[in-house]
A and B are shown apart, each in its own frame.
Chain A
């Protein structure tokens, strides 16, 4: 039993990294732009399909393929912002962006069905089925890679936000858009680039998701978005590091429940959300984390 518990904790921690990778873009976009991007699930799937195309048709390694899919997803994110989000103005902007993101999700899902059909595909490489023997059991290579990528992605986002001139512009925009404009910051450009960065990070999440899952199709985004939203809300909307900690906590709890009652594992995932939000309505880490140094 001790080995099972230790293995479940290890699986939970690694799985949390994968979820954090998928949720990082979502929490960045909310933290900066006040947009709940409900298209995040389908964007993860889109990232998976881009990796699939490069892998199957160009025989490009999944990790190398990120050098292409990340810039591609950045451009897609910027285009989504300029076409669907930027035109929205006024007091109802926040709720309207929710609908706009929903529309984006439907459009992307429809396009993926049209191009790839409904059959499940998965991403394969030597490291998607290999593992290393550590602590007395096998740990999956692709999960270890996913966890490493999550740490790198989240550290990079922190560096961008807190150690660059662009990051200062982003935080100024978050705190007060009118004042940011007065000091010469192009708020629309900052917002578009931020949306693009959030979407580019999602390309990494999509690749890892496609490699660890048993298969995905254009519908797979729906199973993801509720879990990603739960992680981001629980972390505190906008807390990027908090998303990693929370994802690890949630998936570890889920993996532990799996040992005894797997049928309850999903319920535990959302039960934790309800309980913690009751005690801490702003989430575990709160959204202020992103907006202040």
Chain B
């Protein structure tokens, strides 16, 4: 019995520590009231720590570059913009608290979305409760749109159709060149499951047999057993449902150890994180041929996109291929919001929501944006990008502006 008392103490002490940390994180000074001369406060909660910290910090950079650009050109409606960024630690619970704090305590004028569908869904509900428009760049899964909130506007690519260019290209290949088998290891996340299983269905109809299709938890430190099972089946193609870099890297490492080289290796997220992916995976040679679907890449031939990429490289170093796609998603959120504020002449949530639902097409660094009644970006076109000799290039759809020949089959690890 003696051992139970210390255990209870540990639990109590641990709970106290967590509670204290949460309280400290939640505390903040009251925000300034808005007036015609004061800056427009824009509140957002980002995952600066935790599982999504790489993406969260990339989003922070995107928002900051946008705010700098706006302020350099005189601000919005003659007022400077000021970002109020809280850290949610990648927690769906904390993101709820943060947006409540931003709106009711810090009295922000506008809100920008967080990173990931998991956090966007609860955050959008808070914004809806207080009548705020919620433009976001990383909540494209059905989880976000299932509540049919009128205030949600996602500038990113709707998740469900992300793999269509790959599916269409594979179906267009002569039967002799098409892979005959595929594996679908899928991380348990709303972002991954729908798009990968949808692609799997189409590819099975096209005669590509399924060697492996299972959902695995993504919060484990390594994926050796899962990757070994996939490698053991020797499929000619792997479509990995991933949300983060370590998942992709772990599978690639294990495949190399198993001397297994698929003809096609595509991951739903991770390879689009620029330099962060290259350094984790072990360099350009290992990344060669790895593909990822997305809406945007740093080589996108658009003047505002190029200017943003140049600004990023000048401020943070590296090269264009190293720019994380999250940066463009965040920047686009700012652009769409700025357009709405300028057009409506203020920061009224109801006016902005009505304006964004007006079937208008907005320019952004990611291309044109138009929202349907759910807030999905119907103008978004899915592309597939590939690492080729250290460069991140667009390869699908074949023949689309900016596409270069696909590396198929990929080189061996």
- Chain A residues with a Cβ under 8 A of chain B: 3-4, 7-8, 11-12, 15, 36, 38, 92, 94-96, 98-99, 102, 106, 109, 113, 117-122, 124, 128-131, 137-138, 140-141, 143, 209, 212-220, 222-224, 227, 254-255, 258-259, 261-263, 265-266, 281-282
Contact = CB atoms under 8 A, between A and B. Distances in A.
A258 B229 CA distance: 9
Given A258-B226, A265-B220, 8 more contacts: A15-B224, A98-B10, A118-B54, A119-B279, A120-B245, A120-B276, A214-B253, A215-B249
Contacts of A122: 246, 249, 279-282
Interface string B42-64: 00000011110110110000000
A98 B217 contact: no
A92 B188 CA distance: 41
15 contacts: A7-B228, A95-B9, A99-B13, A109-B49, A118-B56, A120-B246, A120-B279, A138-B258, A213-B221, A214-B245, A217-B53, A219-B50, A258-B229, A263-B216, A266-B217
B53 A118 contact: yes
Contacts of B247: 214
B12 A95 contact: yes
Kindly name the residue among B51, B219, B229, B251 whose own CB sees the greatest number of chain A CB atoms within 10 A.
B229
Interface string B248-259: 111111101111
A217 B249 CA distance: 13
B22 interface: no
B405 interface: no
Contacts of B413: 129
B307 interface: no
Contacts of B402: none
Given A94-B9, A223-B219, A263 B257 contact: no
Contact of A216 (B16, B220, B246): B246
Given A120-B276, A219-B51, A130 B217 contact: no
B232 interface: yes
Contacts of A223: 219-221
Contact of B222 (A3, A94, A213, A282): A213
B259 A143 contact: no
A98 B3 CA distance: 16
Interface in B219-273: 219-226, 228-229, 232, 244-254, 256-259
Contacts of A106: 21
A-B complex: 5 closest residue pairs judged by Cβ atoms = A214-B250, A214-B246, A214-B249, A118-B53, A262-B216
A96 B217 CA distance: 34
B1 to A, nearest CB: 10
Contacts of A8: 225, 228-229
Nearest to A119: B276
Kindly name the residue among B12, B214, B222, B224 whose own CB sees the greatest number of chain A CB atoms within 10 A.
B224
A209 B280 CA distance: 14
A213 B53 contact: no
Interface in B158-200: 188
Contacts of B354: none
A166 B49 CA distance: 41
B17 interface: yes
B257 A138 contact: yes
A217 B253 contact: no
A119 B221 CA distance: 16
B343 interface: no
B6 interface: yes
Given A102-B17, A214-B222, A265-B216, A129 B256 contact: yes
B27 interface: no
Contacts of A7: 228, 232
A279 B317 CA distance: 57
A91 B413 CA distance: 58
A121 B246 CA distance: 9
A212 B228 CA distance: 13
B49 A255 contact: no
Interface in B276-301: 276, 279-283
B226 A214 contact: no
A113 B224 contact: no
Contacts of B253: 128-129, 212, 214
B14 interface: yes
Nearest to A233: B7
A109 to B, nearest CB: 8
B257 A130 contact: yes
Contacts of B50: 219, 222
Kindly name the residue among B90, B223, B229, B253 whose own CB sees the greatest number of chain A CB atoms within 10 A.
B253
A119 B13 CA distance: 32
Contacts of B10: 36, 94-95, 98
Contact of B279 (A11, A12, A121): A121
Nearest to B8: A95
Given A7-B232, A119-B279, A217-B53, A143 B249 contact: no
A287 to B, nearest CB: 9
Contacts of B214: 261-263
